[in-house]
Structure 1
Amino acid sequence: MNPIKLTLLAKACLITGFALTSPTLIAAEKTIPELVDAVNGTPDAASREAGKKVKLRNHTKGFCTSGSFKPNPKLQDTLTIPFFNQDTIKVTARFSLGGANPKISDKTPGRFMSLKIDGDKENLNFVTTNIPVFFASNLDEFFTFQTKSKQGAEGKQWLIDNQPHAKAFFDFVKQLPPSPSFANSPYYGVNSFLFTAKNGEIQPGRWIFEPVAGTAALSTEELANLSDNFLQAELLKRIQTQPAQWNLYIQLAEKGDVIDDPMAIWPQTRQRLLVGQVIINGERDSDPQVQQCDKGIFNPVLLPKGITPSADPILNARTPAYVESLIRRL
């Protein structure tokens, strides 16, 4: 790595709280640059340089807005997380679609929500999707999925024929109807985290955001009458009169549940703890931090006391991959 990029990486790590000595950078099945190339579809030097010129990134199509988070005070009866002892905490949100295509249609089913909850002394970031099923258990599978997906129908069929995890993902997406609003989608953190219980024990769990407005799906007829760019305008108009809201839960694992594999689905009967409520109302949309939120990264392992990452390799590769992608856009 040349000195300029090393300096930029160091600055990015200071901003995000991520260390240069992360074992993910050393022990990953695939290197971080290889993973970013797979996501961006830049397998060689020429395509990589072309990608840098257009500031290529995943979740290219998206927008920033703002609001607040209201913690549930009763959470402290079960978990010890001082961060949630605050009254109301400011939120910066980015809603987006998947992929590096800035012209992807809003009629596709995928919805993504990233949040920065900035407290008085600590911060908490979320990277979530409306698809609770992930497509890879490890970094090799992740790399193969992203690489084959860029090959079109032939690559997708290869994944269906050869990777059961990818097939399960495609099967789920196939039956998932597009929602009429970001506000009508649930969002899932497919990775697990470790939470400190009041008795000092460590409790694994996952994030789930449930929309207060309820879930909704567009019919074929409704979809036909919409443009390919309706989601941003719909949400920003909605929050002028009423906020978009989600109840945030932690779904708790039980003995025998697989913790470090994002492909593992836990039974819906698992206990859920109400953490609080996200309220998106655009109240800080004029702030530079909000207006420029898509120029940085959302770091899912920037965590307050009482929460630590699990050993999930997908989770622990996210931050260095996001930093690598950021450096390529500078």
Structure 2
Amino acid sequence: MLALRWLGVVAVPTALALAFLWAGGGFSPDRITQNRLMAELHNAGSYGHGFRRAHAKGVCVSGWFDASADATQLSQAAVFHERHVPVIGRFALAVGQPYAPDSATTVRSMALRLMPPDAPEWRTGMNDPPVLPLRDARDASDFFASQQIDPATGKPDPARTKAFGVTHPWLKPAAEENARRFISSGFADDTFHSLDSFILVAADGRKTAVRWAMMPMEPAMPSNGKAGDHEFLFRKLISDIHDHPLQWHLVMTVAGAHDVINDPSQIWAQDDQTIDAGTLTLNAIESEDGGPCTDITFDPLVLPPGIQPSDDPILQVRSAAYMRSFLRRSGEKRGPSAVTPNLIQASSEGKKP
């Protein structure tokens, strides 16, 4: 039964990933392949052993999405027309080690699976930096290679990291933009960005390029990371979500005339039109040890009618890497998560596990 459940979860994303890789020449020997990306992630310190190769430390959440109806003019997707759409999600840190200590400055992610009744689902993965300092598969491969762990120090070689910046000057504006981002106190008051661009398709066929962000209703407060507490970000999330439901606005940013759509490293204009597409509410949290998000790949190419991928090449990279990661971890024996059921119970009661 477990194998059948995995097959059901993986079938559609696998077909999409393979189709895009084949169309894009992803299996050619001179291209960046799934195996190459996985090897580079491993050399950069990815733990493996049944965990996701990136964003390895996480927790499952669930709730619902209520559409505002303001995005219906741009997209026929059911999620923009309905209320109380069930959601399964995951908060995570962008680390390859599932037992790494929490750090306020580590990139945080929100991944969602929105499931309208009697309509195709939508999956999205978002990060808290506002822009992605990578342009294509070659940039991604070069970046992972620059993060290779030096056996002598157990850390990436600073010279190799610096060399990546020198040899990829076109990524400098994006990196500088991310360096200026506000570091909030936790997941609940953080903003999460799609990074990649997508195409919304209206009922009449009209197409609109957008990026989106989940913007918190909680006032954003500065981080006050707790030294010595390896799970302080997750403890805070558990406490917050048990204290009250957490909410975000899904804000669509419409590409302006001069915005670059197919390069995620390009910063869009600050005065672009925005549309509040609805409200995400999360009111439950569970450990990945048996939680509902554990076997889900949050593949950004799992899209419903009304949302299409742009020609952004990073979308193909992400989809292919997620699927290869899933196929590998699904065949591996997995240890307990850092955020265990006991930690969730104790943190919700204000205790130490």
User: Could you tell me how far 1:214 is from its partner in structure 2?
Assistant: 2.6
Does 1:123 pair with 2:121? yes
Partner Cα separation in structure 2 for residue 200 and residue 54 of structure 1: 42
Tell which deviates more after alignment, 246-255 or 101-110.
Answer: 101-110
Q: 1:149 aligns with which of 147, 150, 153?
A: 147
Counterpart in the other structure of 1:59: 55
Paired residues of 1:30 and 1:143 also in contact (CA < 8 A): yes
Which residue of structure 2 aligns with residue 98 of structure 1? Answer: 94
Question: SS of 2:243's equivalent?
Answer: coil
The aligned counterpart of 2:267 is 265
Contact 2:132 2:264 in 1 (8 A): yes
SS of 2:16 mapped into structure 1: coil
SS at match of 1:216: coil
CA distance in 1, matches of 2:136, 2:74: 32
Give, in angstroms, the shift of residue 300 of structure 1: 1.1
- Bigger mean CA deviation after superposition, 97-106 or 206-215: 97-106
Q: Judging changes above 3 Å, is the alpha-carbon distance between structure 1 residues 174 and 86 closer, same or farther for their aligned structure 2 residues?
A: closer
Q: Which moved more, 1:252-261 or 1:168-177?
A: 168-177
Distance apart, 1:125 and its partner CA: 0.9
Query: Partner of 1:297 in structure 2?
Result: 297
**Deviation for aligned residue 1:312:** 0.8
Question: Aligned with 1:119: secondary structure?
Answer: coil
Corresponding pairs, count: 313
Identity %: 24
The structure with more helix, counted as a fraction of residues: 1
Decide whether aligned partners of structure 1 residues 117 and 104 sit closer, same or farther in structure 2, where only a CA change above 3 A counts. Answer: same
The one-letter amino acid of 1:14's match is: A
CA gap of 1:83–1:215, structure 2 versus 1, over 3 A, is same
Deviation at 1:132?
1.2
Once the 2 structures are TM-superposed, how far is the Cα of residue 36 of structure 1 from its aligned partner? 2.3
Aligned match of 1:3: none
Paired residues of 1:192 and 1:260 also in contact (CA < 8 A): yes
Contact map agreement 1:75 1:274 (CA 8 A) in 2: yes
Give the 3-state SS of the residue equivalent to 2:267 in structure 1: coil
Contact 1:83 1:305 in 2 (8 A): no
Show CA shifts across 1:33-89 (max 9, x none): 2122223327xxxx99xx654646111111111111111123224433233222211
CA drift of 1:112 comes to 0.8
Partner amino acid, structure 2, of 1:113: M
Contact 2:17 2:323 in 1 (8 A): no
The 10-residue stretch of structure 1 (209-218 or 269-278) with the greater mean CA deviation from structure 2 = 209-218
Distance 1:189 1:52 in 2: 25
2:167 maps to 162
Secondary structure (helix, strand or coil) at the match of 2:249 reads strand
Q: 1:144: how far off?
A: 0.1
After superposition, residues 202-221 of structure 1 pair within 5 angstroms as 202-218=207-223
Cα shift readout 1:224-275 (whole Å, capped 9, x = no counterpart):
5562311111111111221111100111112332111111111121111111
> Which of the residues 196, 201, 209 maps onto 2:206?
201
The alpha-carbon distance between structure 1 residues 162 and 318, as it changes in their structure 2 partners (threshold 3 A), is same
Any stretches of 5+ residues in structure 2 without a counterpart? 149-155, 332-353
Question: d(CA) in 2 for partners of 1:56 and 1:83?
Answer: 27
Matches within 5 A, 1:15-164: 15-16=12-13, 18-19=15-16, 21-25=18-22, 26-28=24-26, 29-41=31-43, 53=49, 55=51, 57-109=53-105, 110-120=107-117, 121-150=119-148, 151-164=156-169
Aligned-partner Cα distance in 1 for 2:206–2:212: 19
Give TM-score, length-normalised by structure 2: 0.79
Partner of 1:4: none
CA drift at 1:134: 1.1
Cα RMSD of the aligned pairs, angstroms, is 2.9
1:142-191, Cα deviation, whole Å (9 max, x unpaired): 10011102233122111222212444454345444532110111010111
Aligned to 1:228: 230
- Say if 2:283 is the partner of 1:281: yes
Match of 2:247 among 245, 248, 262: 245
Where in structure 1 are there 5+ consecutive unaligned residues?
1-6
